[in-house]
Structure 1
Amino acid sequence: MSEQERTKQVGDFARLDLDRVRRRGYPEAIYCESKTLEQISAIAAAVKDSAQTTLFTRLLDGHAEAALKVLPGAFHDPGARFLAWPPEAPEPSGVDILVVCAGTSDLPVAREAMHTARYLGRSVDLLADVGVAGIHRLLAHEQRLKAAGVVVVVAGMDGALPSVVGGLVSAPVVAVPTSVGYGAGSGGVAPLLTMLNSCAPGVGVVNIDNGYGAGHLAAQIAAR
């Protein structure tokens, strides 16, 4: 396969990776946060021409509208800042993934993880607002936790929830620190360090607010 067949040039600022599905088994993703509206529109047009599944993450104001003008009907979750084309997710395979969210303020990152895993071909469910400040809320769903093949745990503040979940389940836990919290949380550094120092084995940690990375990793684990 030639370089021209593996990539699609978009202006002088982007090259779509048309070979990613064949090479890695998972679709291209466009990180939108630093891109202009014009760049998003041009990339969306190239995506439509290529007829490949593509995820748009970290959409800013106006990004979704620019993409939807070119890709009408695309799946869009404003809260998760996430858009997917085409709108239909693939048929799920592999083991089930459960995304667990400590607080309502962590939901945007949790939903980004959930949508990412779903569009990578996994069955995903969401359990929200079950943080350690009211541990009974989590324990009420113990059977649901134990039934999952992979658990993604999203938490800010003290970041303690992944250790608790890791002590309850046999499945791998993908921990996601968020930037939710007061000043001493240092924009997510405090929960990141807590998760890295988890005493529960089987807990892996992705970067702060990286719902896409967590969903992708969980989908890869669930496939195996």
Structure 2
Amino acid sequence: MRELLEAVAAGELSVDAAEAELAGYVTGDAGRFDAARWDRVGVPEGILAAGKTPEEVAELVALAVETTDHALVTRAEAAVVAAVRERIDATAPESTVVVDDRAGTVVVHGPRYDPPTLDARVGVVTAGTSDAVPAGEAAVVLRESGVRVTRIDDVGVAGLARLVDQLETLRAQDVLVVAAGREGALPTVLAGLVDVPLIGVPVSTGYGYGGEGEAALAGMLQSCAPIAVVNIDAGFAAGVQATLVARAIDAARTENSR
């Protein structure tokens, strides 16, 4: 603790960074940022933009970059992206800002950011192009956690030849995250063809009876082939779950290589 206090007194460490070191989180006007989440549970903290003003998101991003050199925002619309860019330009101009408009994510890396690496492969799969939003969210979470991600898109059950053509690639993955809307059949079919953990993401596509992802969720929950299932459009949750499996695989491979 003395070293922290001396660093703050010398101007080498900000008060926010010192608070993050001592408490594990840092508090600002927009709320508290969990600066210790990566060390504590092995996944990056996510800043959910939905329900917050652009200015609140930008402040939390600034706190994240100051204390961890890293920020990950989900469900970010154009106004949020603009506010984050403006705040980072003013407070941490040497940082890089990467925006995925389709997935609705913003990633910021500070100048001292040291990216993690995991010896694990996760396939992120979509039944159709309409499933790309939550799938993209999951992929960003995985990449920011150090996982090698392979995208396999548009292989839904309406044309099984497309899925069969990708089986070699799919079977080479350590974990699969599979996003599907409508009746949500793809994860069930695929789980009967591979021997790796599979996480289903029901997507809010479809209309009429069972629309908005309800039929997809029900179908995945009733899957005859064993799969894990997250909530409708919960790409972030799927990415986190796949990351935790990937971390266990990485630890086992590291141990076996000694």
Q: Residue type matched to 1:209 in 2?
A: D
- Distance between the aligned counterparts of 1:213 and 1:193, measured in 2? 18
Determine if the alignment matches structure 1 residue 200 to structure 2 residue 225. yes
- Distance between the aligned counterparts of 1:7 and 1:91, measured in 2? 20
- Distance between the aligned counterparts of 2:168 and 2:82, measured in 1? 41
Determine if the alignment matches structure 1 residue 50 to structure 2 residue 67. yes
Aligned-pair identity (%):
37
SS of alignment partner, residue 151 of structure 1: strand
For 2:53, the equivalent position in structure 1 comes to 36
TM-score under structure 1 normalisation?
0.93
Residue in structure 1 matching 2:85, options 68, 71, 76: 68
1:80–1:89 CA distance, 2 compared to 1 (3 A): farther
For 2:171, the equivalent position in structure 1 comes to 146
For 1:190, the equivalent position in structure 2 comes to 215
- Distance between the aligned counterparts of 1:223 and 1:103, measured in 2? 28
Determine if the alignment matches structure 1 residue 77 to structure 2 residue 100. yes
Q: Is contact 1:97-1:152 (8 Å) kept?
A: yes
Q: Residue type matched to 1:178 in 2?
A: V
Q: Is contact 2:35-2:68 (8 Å) kept?
A: no
Residue in structure 1 matching 2:117, options 87, 92, 100: 92
For 1:108, the equivalent position in structure 2 comes to 133
- Distance between the aligned counterparts of 1:89 and 1:184, measured in 2? 48
SS of alignment partner, residue 187 of structure 2: helix
Shift of 1:19: 1.7
Residue in structure 2 matching 1:156, options 181, 184, 199: 181
- Distance between the aligned counterparts of 1:89 and 1:209, measured in 2? 30
Runs of 4+ in 1 over 2 A off after TM superposition: 1-5, 51-54, 70-73, 87-92
- Distance between the aligned counterparts of 2:238 and 2:114, measured in 1? 18
| CA radius of gyration, larger in | 2
Residue in structure 1 matching 2:41, options 18, 24, 40: 24
Q: Residue type matched to 1:116 in 2?
A: V
1:89–1:149 CA distance, 2 compared to 1 (3 A): farther
Q: Is contact 2:122-2:242 (8 Å) kept?
A: yes
Q: Residue type matched to 2:210 in 1?
A: G
Per-residue Cα deviation, 1:2-59 (whole angstroms, up to 9, x for no partner) = 8853221111x41011121221122211011111012112112212321332210011
1:138–1:89 CA distance, 2 compared to 1 (3 A): farther
For 1:179, the equivalent position in structure 2 comes to 204
SS of alignment partner, residue 65 of structure 1: helix
Q: Is contact 2:157-2:185 (8 Å) kept?
A: yes
- Distance between the aligned counterparts of 1:144 and 1:64, measured in 2? 34
Per-residue Cα deviation, 1:153-210 (whole angstroms, up to 9, x for no partner) = 0000010000111001000000000001112233111100000000002x10001001
1:101–1:89 CA distance, 2 compared to 1 (3 A): farther
Q: Is contact 1:153-1:174 (8 Å) kept?
A: yes
TM-score under structure 2 normalisation?
0.81
> Which has the higher mean CA deviation after the structures are superposed, 187-196 or 86-95?
86-95
Unaligned runs of 5+ in 2: 2-18, 90-95, 249-258
Q: Is contact 1:89-1:121 (8 Å) kept?
A: no
Q: Residue type matched to 2:51 in 1?
A: S
Determine if the alignment matches structure 1 residue 219 to structure 2 residue 237. no
